[in-house]
Structure 1
Amino acid sequence: MVSGIAMLAPLAAGAVVTGVAEGDMIKTADNPDIYIAKYVGSKQFKRLILSPSVFNSYGHLKWENVKTVSQATLDQFTVSTLVRAEGDPKVYNLYPTPNSDIGGKHWVNMTAEQFTSCNTTNTLFDWDSVYQINTADRDSYTVSTDDTTCTLSTEGGGGTVSALSVALASDTPVASMAPANAARVGFTKVNFTASSAGSVTINSLTVQRTGLAVDAAIGSVMLIDTADDSQLGLNQVLNANHQAIFPDAIVIPAGTTKSILIAANMPASTAAYAGQVVTLSLVAVTTASSISGTLPITGNYNTINASLAIGTASITVGALDPGTAFTKEVGVTNYNFSSLKVTAGSVEDVSVNSIRWNQSGSAASSDLANVKVNDGTTDYAATISSDGKYYSVNFATPIV
């Protein structure tokens, strides 16, 4: 039977959702359900506390410590239904009955080796997602049939975990050329669809350079949300395995599809790579949800070109940039955090459609207010990412 020993491995440092620490109790303002947050590396889990009696069975939990968070914050955590009670080697799959304080439990009746093997076809079988609970919590669920296959039962609806389908978009970019200095050259467009059972959190994506080319033909790789042409996370360079790994969490709301374009910035000189043919393939998706779709997913190729002259833009520090780090008192207003200067080359005009800043310090989004971008004449309100780390503005009329 499943022993659950693997879950006792030390936690690795990873991405932490802003404002939510390991072990925090979180809920939304319009829903009484309370969850316990858990981090393992870059993975983010949440587990439902079944009832007030279960809550009170944990002496260290205090009602006054429950945090109210936004739905977007809650959605960054993946639901875990797997638990193991102290002193009990059995791992159970729990399911709460909707709109009640009762639920059922299935013993995951298989060996540890079988459990691990199931992870290759169903990522819900994840040792990292197993929570250790007390016996009062375990015994609050009625016994149901055993789970003996690589499918976790979801009776009652409350224990249902959403599935993710991954597929090449029909409008993926056509084969084209990639000249020197070109930015955001599209290679592969992928559709990620969450089932109606719930939102899906993608913990990481891995892209691999393929085709008859060398890694140096690609400057850096990026992910673009095609809904608003915004970049997801930071640019990544290819590693020794010809791969770029994107560690930022991406949330797909229930019943929706997010289209992501895998694109690249080209190096300043492509003379040594002219004629090489490059493709960028999605080779791995990390999520606690089950995945349908065949990897790798590869779009059309781009041929490296060294003769085309295209417009360029050089970006330097602007005159209003503070130039160094400062300590500011709470309440300071009208402070310039950053200033940029964009200079177009002589070949053609350059249009600026959007700008995004990465807030790389320890401050939370709640520590800043009224963040705006000014082009010298007009203020534009910045949009803040769900993790509070990116401030973006899209210009309705591009700045030329």
Structure 2
Amino acid sequence: MKKGFIIFMALAMLLSYSFVVAPVVKSASDGDLIKGSGSAVYYLNGGKRYVFPNEKTYKTWYPDFSGVVVVSDSELSSYPLGGNVTYRAGTKMVKIDTVPTVYAVEPGGVLRSILSEANAAALYGSTWNKKIDDVPDSFWVNYTVGDDLTEGNYPTGTIVKEEGSATTYYIDGATRRPIATGVAFDANNLNWSYLVTATSLVAYSDGTSITGAETALTTVAGTGGGVVGGSVTVSLASDTPASTTYMGTQARAPFLAVNVANSGSTDVTIDNIVIERGGLALDADFATVAIIEDSISGSQTGLNKTFNSDHRATVGDDIVVKAGTTKKLFVVGNMTTRELMTAGNTPKLGIYSMALKNDATLSGSLPIWGNTMSLNTGVHIAAATMAAGGSNPTTDAAPKVGDMNVEVAQIKVTNDSTTEEIQIEKVVFKQNGTASDSDVGTYSLYDSSNGAKLATASQVNKYIEFSLSPVFKLGKAKNNEFMVKIDEVQGGSGRTIQLDIYRNTDLLLKGLTYNAYVIPTFPATSQPYWDNAGEVHKIGNGSLKVEPDSTFVAQNIAEGKDGVQIGQWLFTVKGEAVDITAMEALCKIAGTAAGGNISDMTGGIFYDVETGTGLTGADDVGGLTTTTTAAEGGVSSTDTVSLNVGVHKVGLKINLSSDFVDGQTITCEIDPDTW
């Protein structure tokens, strides 16, 4: 099933409402719903009014019109228009007549493709097609198209309960937040009519409870949500690519470079960029187009896009231009195959429009066009194939929190050319499991042939981007395998890790004869181009590590003293709190046999060194399951010791009799494996 599927819906009437409001005229305050003598209803925020495009949009936020305040027309006109309100996240699916894709709405008007009818039915039941509204084309620009939903996952903003459970949850990314009471539900203007029932929610981790009104939930979308204002200037970059020749299956072929300059003191966010194709050429000469930041080998913004009937493509992911900086953007083409490309065509690419968020202003003359390029179908540039590596983990590694160097994915790259070397500059994985960016500190990429570490990267917005420096060169007709390891699992018990390659340009390869990036062949022909679904790793429980504390050093002690500290260890707890139900330390006495022995050591207590609080009851040395002699015994406890996540300094104190003599030594050690 293609990601875009056709649903026939009636067009919503613009600015059409059916309600009665008592004609009481009064002054309004921020957060009020307001109207004048006309029918349009607005949300007032920050001294600006934001219009609900139609009643359908309004009803996703409010059940009725009883809270609308009627103000005088003169007061209404005193509030400048701020924008249009978008659908509330998690309530309805939306589409437009001219595009068949059905989307879920997330906070801030971000749209995520539902993927397929099957996924829609799995999420919303057999009547899923009754939960779709058409958004008029004129208001579609208020939304931003983001990445597709992960199959089986609800969009952020959904209110949902599990079959057989009375608990209602608010879905927030990979977490499910229980709504504590009906009062908390109402305080956030949630609507029971949008509650969905799920077969299972085990894929989500538990988040904090919602106990009252939260600004992030009650603020109407489309009303800003950031610093308002700022300005940027867009202009043609001096190093925009000169006219040249591009070839079939060439990736990241640069057509245009622009500078977006922010000379102010406020960060500015680019909401979307519309790319247009011009010149004597065909849309079919391009497989896709994309936006690259900073340099041709830089990071890609969003997904690869195809042209619509107007020869335009929209990249809808945010790009932040920091205050006082200039952001360089490249418009690139990923060229189609030699067989489909038309030799001699001369395309060019330009930026048709650029939309900014939060009422920021754009200076510069658009469209901006790059130079005309020529297409050549006679040259065979390098070719490469990506596949799963021979040691790609095929079973769940079941990593525990705290585990290190966990193998999670291996790929194999083959240079299919017998005449041209290639170099690997970048490998980008999408983490398609439920683990969040913070659950894994960093990942590392290794050369499987010799174990050398090639690059390290963090997970950012689900993507892990390995930039290889130096680049990895692959000889003619050669292949190599590369293993990805988690450096350390830092959290996320119960969540999953699955590394896919999502875009066919995420393996950045360059042929060294023609100095051109190439589009490799992947196992699949659509996103994800490498679906590693059979290799899902579920993060297990937390971990406990016990080791000597190097800050505690040997020292002279006196006999006949109570509460003498004779040991200190670091208990490192990761992932989740632990309960230790049995602890023991083995103590040994060395030196003169005529002195004190194990029976002269009593009242042993494990305690928290930093607070002085006892963790266990007192126990005389001896009685261990291990051999006990006059010179060897231990302190044991079956008291439950609860330790939260973190590093704890645990000490051992013992009472010493007066039978010890000079020169005797006492040592104590812990072996958690015996607990």
Distance 1:236 1:5, change over 3 A: closer
- The structure with the larger Rg is 2
- Contact 2:399 2:406 (C-alpha < 8 Å) held by counterparts: no
Q: Which has the higher contact order (CA 8 A, sep 6+)?
A: 1
Distance in structure 1 (CA, Å) of the matches to 2:49 and 2:323: 33
- Contact 2:85 2:223 (C-alpha < 8 Å) held by counterparts: no
Measured after TM superposition, the shift of residue 351 of structure 1 is 0.7
Distance in structure 1 (CA, Å) of the matches to 2:253 and 2:381: 13
Distance in structure 2 (CA, Å) of the matches to 1:253 and 1:280: 26
Deviations 1:181-221 (A, max 9, x none): 21211101111122322111112222122111111111121
Is residue 396 of structure 1 aligned with residue 464 of structure 2?
Answer: no
Distance 1:388 1:8, change over 3 A: closer
Deviations 1:113-166 (A, max 9, x none): xxxxxxxxxxxxxx92258xxxxxxxxxxxxxxxxxxxxxxxxxx976221211
Distance 1:15 1:399, change over 3 A: farther
Is residue 129 of structure 1 aligned with residue 226 of structure 2?
Answer: no
Measured after TM superposition, the shift of residue 233 of structure 1 is 2.5
Aligned to 2:88: 11
Is residue 313 of structure 1 aligned with residue 384 of structure 2?
Answer: yes
Is residue 382 of structure 1 aligned with residue 456 of structure 2?
Answer: yes
Q: Percent identity, please.
A: 27
Is residue 251 of structure 1 aligned with residue 320 of structure 2?
Answer: yes
- Contact 2:284 2:341 (C-alpha < 8 Å) held by counterparts: no
Distance in structure 2 (CA, Å) of the matches to 1:225 and 1:3: 35
Q: In terms of mean alpha carbon deviation, does 335-344 or 171-180 score higher?
A: 335-344
Distance in structure 1 (CA, Å) of the matches to 2:446 and 2:363: 44
Distance in structure 1 (CA, Å) of the matches to 2:86 and 2:299: 37
TM-score using structure 1 length:
0.61
Distance in structure 1 (CA, Å) of the matches to 2:273 and 2:438: 28
Aligned to 1:87: none
Q: In terms of mean alpha carbon deviation, does 234-243 or 253-262 score higher?
A: 234-243
Aligned to 2:356: 287
Distance 1:373 1:14, change over 3 A: farther
SS at match of 2:280: coil
1:226 to 268, 284, 294: 294
Distance 1:309 1:254, change over 3 A: same
Distance 1:383 1:295, change over 3 A: farther
Distance 1:128 1:258, change over 3 A: same
Aligned to 1:365: 437
Distance in structure 1 (CA, Å) of the matches to 2:400 and 2:345: 54
- Contact 2:275 2:353 (C-alpha < 8 Å) held by counterparts: yes
Measured after TM superposition, the shift of residue 257 of structure 1 is 0.7
- Contact 1:14 1:42 (C-alpha < 8 Å) held by counterparts: no
Q: In terms of mean alpha carbon deviation, does 170-179 or 314-323 score higher?
A: 314-323
Deviations 1:338-393 (A, max 9, x none): 322111112300011111112234432001223111122322443346x5222112
Measured after TM superposition, the shift of residue 261 of structure 1 is 1.0
- Contact 2:454 2:469 (C-alpha < 8 Å) held by counterparts: no
Distance in structure 1 (CA, Å) of the matches to 2:336 and 2:366: 28
1:42 to 144, 158, 172: 144
| Residue type of the alignment partner of 2:457 | T
- Contact 2:232 2:263 (C-alpha < 8 Å) held by counterparts: yes
Measured after TM superposition, the shift of residue 41 of structure 1 is 4.0
Distance in structure 1 (CA, Å) of the matches to 2:440 and 2:366: 41
Aligned to 1:197: 265
Aligned positions of 1:255-270 closer than 5 A: 255-270=324-339
SS at match of 1:129: coil
Distance 1:225 1:15, change over 3 A: farther
Distance 1:11 1:286, change over 3 A: farther
- Contact 1:212 1:278 (C-alpha < 8 Å) held by counterparts: yes
Measured after TM superposition, the shift of residue 292 of structure 1 is 0.7
Distance 1:361 1:354, change over 3 A: same
Q: Cα RMSD over matched residues? A: 3.3
Aligned to 2:278: 210
Aligned to 1:350: 422
- Contact 2:278 2:350 (C-alpha < 8 Å) held by counterparts: yes
Aligned to 2:410: 339
Measured after TM superposition, the shift of residue 309 of structure 1 is 2.1
TM-score using structure 2 length:
0.37
SS at match of 1:216: helix
Distance in structure 2 (CA, Å) of the matches to 1:242 and 1:346: 37
Distance in structure 2 (CA, Å) of the matches to 1:3 and 1:366: 38
Distance in structure 2 (CA, Å) of the matches to 1:244 and 1:159: 28
| Residue type of the alignment partner of 2:439 | D
Measured after TM superposition, the shift of residue 334 of structure 1 is 3.1
Is residue 303 of structure 1 aligned with residue 370 of structure 2?
Answer: no
Aligned positions of 1:88-167 closer than 5 A: 128-129=222-223, 161-167=229-235
SS at match of 1:382: strand
- Contact 1:11 1:41 (C-alpha < 8 Å) held by counterparts: no
SS at match of 2:222: helix
- Contact 1:283 1:296 (C-alpha < 8 Å) held by counterparts: yes
Aligned to 1:48: none
> Unaligned stretches of 5+ in structure 1?
18-39, 45-58, 66-76, 78-82, 85-126, 132-157
